[in-house]
Amino acid sequence: METSSIYGPPTQPRTIHDAFYRVAAQHPQRVAVRTATDSITYAELAADSRRIAAQLTSRGIGLGHVVPVVARRSVELPAVLLGILATGAAYGMLDVRWPPRRLQRFLRRMDAPVAVADSAGLVGLTGSGTRPLTVDELHHTPAEDGPLPQVAPEACATVFWTSGSTGTPKAVLSPHQATTRLFTTPPYLDYGNAPVMIHAAAVAWDAFTLELWGMLLLGGTLIVHTADVLLPGDLRSYIRDLGATHLFLTPSLADVIVAGDIDCVAGLRCLMVGGDKPTPATCQKLYAAYPAMELVNGYGPVESCVFATTHPITPADAHAPQPIPAGGPVPGTGVHIVADGCVLPRGQVGEVALSGSGLALGYLDEPELTDAAFRTLTVDGRQCRVYLTGDHGHIDDRGTLHFAGRRDAQIKVAGHRIEPAEIETAALSLGSGRAVALPLPDGAGNPRLVLFAEPPAPGLTETELHVRLRETLPAYMVPARVHVVPEMPLLDNTKIDKRALAERYGYPAQPPRKDH
């Protein structure tokens, strides 16, 4: 009996900064980071980062520390992050747009006497009791290079903040090897020769890691988008004038851009989507317009750093009645379908568990949450540390993972267990651009399914959409209410804001549901 376990190719554990310095030695004069008006080569970036590491070391920063960084994307920021890592410390990116109270709560959690900030980030440090070091100061204060400590690939490199399904922020401690497993030999994706990637992800999100280290560990060039919002005009300019070849978008943002100005992505070599389910209609439009463009779907919680699986989306996937697959495992990663602590046979639906070098070390100062999420299971006859994602799925005969909803979203109606993802898929099959099914309380507090969907056709009413769903779904799966939504509210990371969506239509506030 074949079990539901699949593995990506093995990798050589490395630290982020060591991997970067190897690339810098190979391509010293290649442009590493640029904007429309400024740029820095690999040699310059390596030298800047070593000087910054020497300054931080002289200020007592070193092994085991976590340095908060409150800054926007910039040409100067990568050297600061490399410098922090080279001291043996980890960095935790915080968004300058967050309210000061939120920033200060995270600073207290990281127990940081020193934080790095740019001019915008300094505002959030006011009154926090944390001593700021500015990005400009670190770049322009002379310092002599000194010996750097040996850092283990298993050491913490990055702190990501995630609310998960509870709404309570957790600090995810991600090791160096979780990042380098994606971008060293073999990389999770063939980026081709001298790739150029647009860098527009929110700084506190792991997509920031995908863009930043994806280029700097592969010898590519990073185009820094300095504004908050990535607009079609920006994309057109980056591709036409700066040679951008790769772009990552959430499916929600991809939907908006493709619906509004599909011509702006002309010339891209590869578009990656992740963080939610890809919209088949958007993929259909992209393939019709650009049949040579590579489309890639990525799945993975932040606890496994960026991606655990990827799938090259085909035209057949975009037209299939089933959701687009989550794909096969990236290097250094195992994917297992489990139930009651055991790996299930191939084809059965269960909880997705992840193993390998991509796993986080745990949650900062949250031992009980860490123990609940990270377990030791017997996998293929050996003890294996895994992360229980809360996602449901199955692995088919070809070794491909298919996503089937969330454990914490599943509800029971009239004795039937229902995954909201199935209702969303039905709406998409009817032509909806995007759809979200949420279990929301009725007047008596009992859960019921409510569907929010973009109209499959202009002028289609909620009643007509409800009727078409009755023709598609069994009676027990038909949503109690259907709302046609002209425009989905988005979070800063461009995922759909499900809390705002529910509140917009008068439902009680709900904790956010964690999707891939």
pLDDT in tens, 32-56: 999 999 999 999 999 999 999 999 9
- Element holding 7 (H helix, E strand): strand 5-7
Q: Supply the pLDDT for residue 385.
A: 96
pLDDT category, 165, cuts 50, 70, 90? very low
pTM of the model: 0.82
pLDDT in tens, 361-376: 999 989 999 999 999 9
pLDDT category, 205, cuts 50, 70, 90? confident
Mean pLDDT of 474-500: 82
Q: Supply the pLDDT for residue 405.
A: 73
Q: Are the folds of 5-9+326-405 and 16-319 the same?
A: no
Strands (E), 302-443: 309-313, 328-329, 333-339, 342-343, 350-356, 362-363, 374-379, 382-395, 401-406, 411-413, 416-418, 435-441
**What is the CATH code of the structural domain delimited by 5-9+326-405?**
2.30.38.10
Q: 3-state SS string over 262-288?
A: HHHHCCCCEEEEECCCCCHHHHHHHHH
Please state, for a pLDDT cut of 70, what percent of the chain lies above it. 92
What are the residue ranges of helices labelled H in 60-116? 77-86, 100-110
Residue 125 burial by Cβ neighbours in a 10 Å radius (0-12, 13-18, 19+): buried
CA distance between the termini of the chain: 29
pLDDT category, 511, cuts 50, 70, 90? very low
Q: Supply the pLDDT for residue 433.
A: 76
Mean pLDDT of 387-408: 88
Computed over every residue of the chain, the mean pLDDT equals 89
Q: Supply the pLDDT for residue 514.
A: 47
Q: Supply the pLDDT for residue 376.
A: 95
pLDDT at 248 over 90: yes
In the CATH hierarchy, which fold is given to the domain comprising 412-504?
Answer: GMP Synthetase; Chain A, domain 3 (3.30.300)
Mean pLDDT of 13-27: 97
Q: Supply the pLDDT for residue 164.
A: 45
Decide: helix, strand or coil at residue 56.
helix
Q: Supply the pLDDT for residue 486.
A: 85
Q: Supply the pLDDT for residue 515.
A: 46
Mean pLDDT of 280-309: 95
Please say whether the beta carbons of 12 and 185 come within 8 A: yes
**What is the CATH code of the structural domain delimited by 16-319?**
3.40.50.12780
Interaxial angle between packed helices 462-472 and 420-429, expressed in degrees from 0 to 180 and rounded to the nearest 10: 110
Other beta carbons less than 10 A from residue 73's beta carbon: 25
pLDDT at 475 over 90: no
Decide: helix, strand or coil at residue 215.
helix
* Listed range (126-130, 180-184, 234-238) with the worst mean pLDDT: 126-130
* Listed range (128-137, 258-267, 435-444) with the worst mean pLDDT: 435-444
Among candidates 55, 35, 33, 54, which has minimal Cα distance to 44?
A: 33
Cα torsion 116, 304, 300, 75: sign: positive
**What are the sequence ranges of the domains in the chain?**
5-9+326-405, 16-319, 412-504
pLDDT at 185 over 90: no
